Structure 1
Amino acid sequence: MSLDADDMRIHVLGIGSIGSLFAFHLRRALPESTPVSLIVRKRRVYQNINEDQGQSIRVERDGHTEHMGGFDREVWEVASDQLFSLMYDRRGRVKASTDKASDPYMDVFHLSKEELKARGRPKQPEIGKATTIDSLIITCKAPSTLPALQRLVPRLHSNSTIVLLQNGMGVYDSIVDRLFPDPNKRPHFVLASTTHGVWAKGPLSVVHAGVGNFSFGIVPDPRGRRDHEASLQHGFERLQLSDISSDPRNDLEFRTLHGTIQALLTLTDLNPIWDPIQWLNVKLLKKLCVNCCVNPITAIMNITNGELLGSADAYYMLRSVCREANAVFRAQARAEDALVPATVALAHLHPHKLEEEVTRVIGHTSRNFSSMLQDMRNGKPTEIEYMNGYLMRMGQKYGVPTPVNNLLRSMVRLKSSIGQATELPGAEKWWHPLSDLPRAKPPPPTKLTAKPPPFKRFSML
């Protein structure tokens, strides 16, 4: 099926298990006139593609393996990404200051401004050509999304379209706050979620183990130029592409959004569902609650998902997480920037319904290892800050206590940091979190607590 915006190129950032699956089906569903580019951040992955797989993606399903080639590729080394983040701000301008403490997670090179200018700006990837990005599908892990997208900001424009497909919540908020604070210069955003089960056999070689669906929704236009869900108000049961644009070839502002949604709808083997944004947010919040229950406990205990069933202690923790999540969702629904209306939150995000969803997912994935456990085993950063950490931050924002989620977050962070060297500033080396608290006066001594008299040694001679 050809797209109405037939000159649009689709880029895929993050070619892990989910990214490989979606890139495979995009290339199979779209005509050759619509290029699909893979943005690779490791040269080793690119070499494996060329040497082992003939520049193709392999997907195995029900014992049958299919190959799909015809991708364009860009290779950006991770070290180059870190250097770019140090040298340039979010708009691609040379930073005025290179203070090491300004961004401890990305600024790994401590260079002077003169040294930075001497190195020059890395405008092109090591392999491939950097072109303007019209449509970008991001499937990398939540912690990697912001730094990976930071490099691509100079290639995006206000009419570009970005699809976010990650676990957890808060990625969109962090991107908007740090990279696109100006609504007039902000690209179109599409939020997505999937229930497909995929695991990687190797670089660009995945097994499609569980067939689910793929839901997505369009973030409302911050400038209010167009209502993408107008058809629902006119008696239609489904959303219509004409709500985005009736003439996408000549509509420069919404051409890429129309083409991206049209491309996603062609992925029939992935069972695409175009949802109104409020209903998609309900799905995202439900999935967030499931992730907050399953991922941290299985990662801490080093068990499969199914081992959570049948344990009274595990059930108590799952139930507590669901109740805290419901309290946060209800408080969030009453706020001005609510993701879902209060009536919808009460009907679909009730604690009992959240518990039912958690139990259903655990039973359906009983033999699986959670993504957080796999990240821990592979020494990779976890997505805990976008799961239980998100609930903790929202609880603090709306005055809702979340003690169980706070504890699970701390336990995951502790287990992830064990065995890793941490460097503290000099002033913090000798500081203890309890040192500034006022000390209570000791109780008066009693016969049992009174200090005994000093021991005297007697001589027998």
Structure 2
Amino acid sequence: MRYHVLGVGSIGSLIAFHLKRSIKLQRKLLQPGPSSQSRRELLLSNLSNKRPASNQGSIVSSLSLPPYVQSELPDPLQSSVTLHMRRRPFGRSAKQRFANSIILEQDGVRDIEGGFQTDFTASAADITASIVRDNRLQEDEDDTGAGRFTISRGTNSSSSEDAALREQTTSRTPVPDHDGGVSLISTLEGVHSQPRAGPIDSLIITTKCDSTLSALEAIRHRLHPWSTIVLLQNGMGVLEMLFDRFFKDADQRPNFVLASTTHGCWKKGPLDVVHASMGTLHFGIVPSARAGSIGFESSRVPLGQTLAVPQGPMSRRRRAAKNARGWDRFSPDADAQDAVTELNPQDAEAPSKMLSLSGIPDQPSLRTLRTTVAALLSLPLQVEWETIRDFQLRSLRKLVINACINPLTALADCKNGDLFGNPAAMDAMWTVCLEAGMVLEAQVREHLASSQASPRQTASAALSAEDLILRSTETGEPMLHPSLTPQALYQEVQRVARLTAANWSSMHSDLKNKRGSTEIDYINGYISALGRGYNIDTTANDLLTNLIKLKTTRATGTNRL
């Protein structure tokens, strides 16, 4: 199984670090003859942000996984993690040091994880420069006659030539990469290619929303209908854009997972990040016809399988404790993990609230989806798999929060907490919440008025209006979910502004670092687009969108921010 991470900023590096660390620790457990003490250290979890006293300076990932996750993880000896990076910002520094490593700092501890596969792609500027050079060569050739020749590029070759090239580089035996990773899709199909040309099993995208299309373009040819794509980004609208531009045929579309995180990270340098504050990572699987009529969310994990299972038999630990003498009777057992709650058989079989991987059909087109979900659940980042309905509600609330805080902090050049209590800022945030609530209410009304999808609703294919509806407990009438009303959204914005008072918003950082663009079209611009679809006035969101775009062009001001 080959995992690919597209976008190695702060969050992308955090995910890649723990994903690779988990694979490495699984490999160590397969090595013969580890002592009981080392085995215990490997099984300790850092979910509480604590490091083992005997191993100062390392960040240990958790291997104390519940059975329903352990059984779905792929063979660690055939798993690898590939980082996709643009050559311009990373090429020179990556060659000088740590070419395949990520440095992560947490609670003052700096740790390094290596063994990554790297794949450098040209940036947009590099592609433009290449086109200019090709045009100049063509002009020179026209002037001097047919005396020179040029080597044709792969992107200009015909489909028959591409097929012939693939036929020459394929094999019936596995072709592992430098870390031993073998493509799961190639194994299922029985045809293997070179690692840099084979199909992508699992792709985790953490790039900025406005850079997704250009970043994905370079590796789009490696995406297979059986691939799984995880979108871990701010804003909304990227999924619809990918469906419209790259994956119009629903039957040939990869599996998609939507994710969102509240972990606090910032980047010190290329592949060097600080995990400043713990949060959560939520994800939901985008509905697909491959799941059948029951969907991916029909099964729940039995309560007994949600608990981590100790490696040693219970009877052996009890005998050791019984035979121990003196203070050894109170010392932790060498093979023991954290305390495990024992359940009676009836409670152990009762369904829990956790979604089960057994709800994903075990078929070739969904095999990478099962392993990707298991890999996400294995990360020590407080990961929760929730229904797509709950995830959509969470994403909409986060969208409105970002629509209030991000543009205002970027325009005012201030931290999040500086907005709280400021009359002008509070008034602007209330107006944004009011417009967002009106747009969502209009979508619910139109959905209820007609059982057939209207042209306006088809503009947002991934957002189902049914997910926004809640039946009143008193009258039974359908209504907009209470968490999406303007009043509820405004209270949530204030709460987040207080909790993140000392933080700088991502949009403020984009302007400060002179990135050249922001995610405004996928935040306030997304609300404005929905408003136009339902004939709802969104003056405040339109204005904030245009002001951010104006400031991004550096047409006004002192050019400091």
The one-letter amino acid paired with 2:106 is: R
Do structure 1's residue 169 and structure 2's residue 224 form an aligned pair? no
Q: What residue is the counterpart of 1:318 in the other structure? A: 429
Please give the alpha-carbon distance, in whole angstroms, between the structure 1 residues aligned to 2:368 and 2:401: 33
Q: What residue is the counterpart of 1:261 in the other structure? A: 373
Please give the alpha-carbon distance, in whole angstroms, between the structure 2 residues aligned to 1:244 and 1:366: 41
* Residue among 66, 76, 85 paired with 2:121: 76
* Residue among 18, 25, 29 paired with 2:18: 25
The one-letter amino acid paired with 1:63 is: G
SS at structure 2 position matched to 1:199: strand
SS at structure 1 position matched to 2:365: coil
Deviation at 1:44, TM superposition (A): 4.4
* Residue among 276, 282, 286 paired with 2:387: 276
Cα 1:39–1:279 change in 2 (3 A) is: same
Q: What residue is the counterpart of 2:221 in the other structure? A: 154
Structure 1 residues 191-218: Cα deviation after superposition (integer angstroms, max 9, x where no partner): 0000011100000111111210000000
Do structure 1's residue 387 and structure 2's residue 523 form an aligned pair? yes
Structure 1 residues 288-342: Cα deviation after superposition (integer angstroms, max 9, x where no partner): 0000000001111111111101211111111111111111122233434525232
Please give the alpha-carbon distance, in whole angstroms, between the structure 2 residues aligned to 1:273 and 1:387: 24
The one-letter amino acid paired with 1:198 is: C
Please give the alpha-carbon distance, in whole angstroms, between the structure 1 residues aligned to 2:152 and 2:480: 53
Deviation at 1:12, TM superposition (A): 0.3
Deviation at 1:11, TM superposition (A): 0.3
The count of aligned residue pairs is 384
* Residue among 401, 410, 413 paired with 2:549: 413
Please give the alpha-carbon distance, in whole angstroms, between the structure 2 residues aligned to 1:108 and 1:400: 45
Structure 1 residues 233-260: Cα deviation after superposition (integer angstroms, max 9, x where no partner): 9965221001113x4xxx2111000010
Cα 1:145–1:81 change in 2 (3 A) is: farther
Deviation at 1:26, TM superposition (A): 0.6
CA contact (8 A) 1:161 1:257 kept: yes
The one-letter amino acid paired with 1:240 is: S
Please give the alpha-carbon distance, in whole angstroms, between the structure 2 residues aligned to 1:317 and 1:298: 12
The one-letter amino acid paired with 1:161 is: T
Deviation at 1:59, TM superposition (A): 1.0
Cα 1:416–1:108 change in 2 (3 A) is: farther
* Residue among 8, 17, 22 paired with 1:15: 8
The one-letter amino acid paired with 2:87 is: K
* Residue among 53, 63, 85 paired with 2:98: 53
SS at structure 2 position matched to 1:131: coil
CA contact (8 A) 1:327 1:400 kept: yes
CA contact (8 A) 1:193 1:214 kept: yes
Cα 1:110–1:346 change in 2 (3 A) is: farther
Structure 1 residues 420-450: Cα deviation after superposition (integer angstroms, max 9, x where no partner): 9xxxxxxxxxxxxxxxxxxxxxxxxxxxxxx
Q: What residue is the counterpart of 1:350 in the other structure? A: 485
Please give the alpha-carbon distance, in whole angstroms, between the structure 2 residues aligned to 1:419 and 1:391: 25
Please give the alpha-carbon distance, in whole angstroms, between the structure 2 residues aligned to 1:49 and 1:129: 18
Q: What residue is the counterpart of 2:268 in the other structure? A: 201
SS at structure 2 position matched to 1:159: strand
CA contact (8 A) 2:229 2:257 kept: yes
TM-score (normalizing by structure 2):
0.64
CA contact (8 A) 1:12 1:37 kept: yes
SS at structure 1 position matched to 2:282: strand
Deviation at 1:109, TM superposition (A): 8.4
Please give the alpha-carbon distance, in whole angstroms, between the structure 1 residues aligned to 2:224 and 2:86: 22
Structure 1 residues 164-208: Cα deviation after superposition (integer angstroms, max 9, x where no partner): 011101000000111001101100000000001110000011111
Q: Which runs of 5+ in 2 are unaligned?
A: 27-75, 140-148, 156-161, 166-194, 302-349, 448-452, 458-463, 471-478, 557-561
Please give the alpha-carbon distance, in whole angstroms, between the structure 2 residues aligned to 1:79 and 1:397: 32
SS at structure 2 position matched to 1:53: coil
The one-letter amino acid paired with 1:258 is: R
Q: What residue is the counterpart of 1:120 in the other structure? A: 153
CA contact (8 A) 1:27 1:68 kept: yes
SS at structure 1 position matched to 2:21: helix
Q: What residue is the counterpart of 1:192 in the other structure? A: 259
* Residue among 246, 255, 260 paired with 1:179: 246
The one-letter amino acid paired with 1:261 is: V
Please give the alpha-carbon distance, in whole angstroms, between the structure 1 residues aligned to 2:519 and 2:528: 14
TM-score (normalizing by structure 1):
0.77
Q: What residue is the counterpart of 2:87 in the other structure? A: 42
Please give the alpha-carbon distance, in whole angstroms, between the structure 1 residues aligned to 2:84 and 2:408: 33
Q: What residue is the counterpart of 2:50 in the other structure? A: none
CA contact (8 A) 2:100 2:117 kept: no
Q: How does 1:431-442 map to 2 (within 5 A)?
A: none
Greater relative contact order: 1 or 2 (C-alpha under 8 angstroms, separation 6 or more)? 2
Cα 1:49–1:418 change in 2 (3 A) is: closer
Q: How does 1:201-240 map to 2 (within 5 A)?
A: 201-222=268-289, 225=292, 227-231=295-299, 237-240=353-356
Range with bigger deviation, 337-346 or 11-20: 337-346
Please give the alpha-carbon distance, in whole angstroms, between the structure 1 residues aligned to 2:6 and 2:421: 40
Deviation at 1:146, TM superposition (A): 1.2
SS at structure 2 position matched to 1:362: helix
Please give the alpha-carbon distance, in whole angstroms, between the structure 2 residues aligned to 1:198 and 1:220: 30
The one-letter amino acid paired with 1:282 is: L
Deviation at 1:54, TM superposition (A): 5.9
Deviation at 1:356, TM superposition (A): 1.7
Q: Identity of paired residues, percent?
A: 42
